Structure 1
Amino acid sequence: MWRKAKNVRITYKILKPEHPSAATLLDDVVESEPTEKTWMPQPKQIHGVDTPDPSIPAAWNWRGKGLLKVASSHWEILGWGERGGERWVVTWFAPSLFTPAGVDVYSDRREGGSEGLVREILKGLEGMGCVEVSGVCKDEMRVVKLD
């Protein structure tokens, strides 16, 4: 998903529920900068809303806002933790109208996940037995440029 983007930042904010028994929704803002010109303009921000998937724990259904309301995707948290003061989370997302399926490894370090941690996470994902996830990790993973 980030092949032609750098400085990717994703911000989630809890949206106030419409009523006390309503599901917790997340406001989702993805910001990035293009690394090269493409025939289609690349948005600098993508806004959406994430709704919990009632049938899968730690899974969400994303729907775009504004002109992207036609776009949707399903994503799941595969794992999270902290090692050496570095907090991390790994997500898998289903293909959408604009992107193929993918795996993201996030870190709270400004410079991105440490090499050792990312290597350990990818090794674990490749060995988990899910062909779709391990295939993406083996063949498709790239480091997102940060400057």
Structure 2
Amino acid sequence: MANEKINLQALEGKWHIILSNFPMWLKGDKTNPTFNYKVAERDGVMGLADEVKYTQNGRTKSINGFDKPLNTENTSFEWRGNGLLSLLSSKWQVLYLDTTENWAIIYFEKTLFTPKGYDVICREKQPNGLIMRKIEEKMSELRINEKLKKIVR
């Protein structure tokens, strides 16, 4: 994947976080997390308007930002929050994208507020067993040894 260019439009739309080791999703008080991307321009740069949605206490909440590509392949990004969150940023990478079965493995770097880790995202809320096996195989191939947990729906 490292050398393949990703078309930003391939990332557009809703992605369900299905596996993660990100503490925000593992505590159990935030459920149904999704990444919602829309190709957009900010300060003359084409990137992704980014809305992270989740449910907390029965209400839908969201975190908004912008993902600026850091390379011409569109595999590495810097997220910066909107509004008050504009002080926060984080870097993340698409390690693998399956455009046929619509799932991806993302790595995010450590920040002041979060540890480094991985998310597996999918267009489907609950992918079938075959896709889950392919995800496990790809994680092994990429030498991702961290234990990712299924996300509470």
Q: TM-score range by the shorter chain?
A: 0.7 to 0.9
1:69 aligns with 2:91: no
Code of the residue aligned with 2:41 in structure 1: it is: K
Q: 1:100/1:116 Cα in 2 relative to 1: closer, same or farther (>3 Å)?
A: farther
Q: Residue 143 of structure 1: CA displacement?
A: 0.9
Unaligned stretches of 5+ in structure 1?
36-42
1:127 aligns with 2:124: no
> Would you say the 8 A contact 1:105–1:118 is kept in 2?
no
**2 CA distance for matches of 1:25 and 1:82?**
19
Q: 1:99/1:122 Cα in 2 relative to 1: closer, same or farther (>3 Å)?
A: farther
Code of the residue aligned with 1:3 in structure 2: it is: L
For normalisation by structure 1, the TM-score amounts to 0.72
Identify the structure with bigger relative contact order (alpha carbons < 8 Å, sequence gap 6+).
Answer: 2
Unaligned stretches of 5+ in structure 2?
1-21
| Equivalent in the alignment of 2:45 | 23
**2 CA distance for matches of 1:74 and 1:62?**
6
**1 CA distance for matches of 2:56 and 2:85?**
18
1:87 aligns with 2:102: yes
Q: Residue 74 of structure 1: CA displacement?
A: 0.6
Deviations 1:24-80 (A, max 9, x none): 121100011237xxxxxxx92111111011377511011111221121111111111
| Equivalent in the alignment of 2:37 | 12
Code of the residue aligned with 1:33 in structure 2: it is: T
**2 CA distance for matches of 1:69 and 1:48?**
8
1:107 aligns with 2:129: no
| Equivalent in the alignment of 2:26 | 3
For normalisation by structure 2, the TM-score amounts to 0.70
**2 CA distance for matches of 1:56 and 1:142?**
29
1:97 aligns with 2:119: no
**1 CA distance for matches of 2:129 and 2:116?**
23
What SS does the aligned partner of 2:145 have?
helix
Q: Radius of gyration: which is bigger?
A: 1
| Equivalent in the alignment of 2:76 | 59
> Would you say the 8 A contact 1:105–1:113 is kept in 2?
no
Q: 1:104/1:29 Cα in 2 relative to 1: closer, same or farther (>3 Å)?
A: same
Q: Residue 82 of structure 1: CA displacement?
A: 4.8
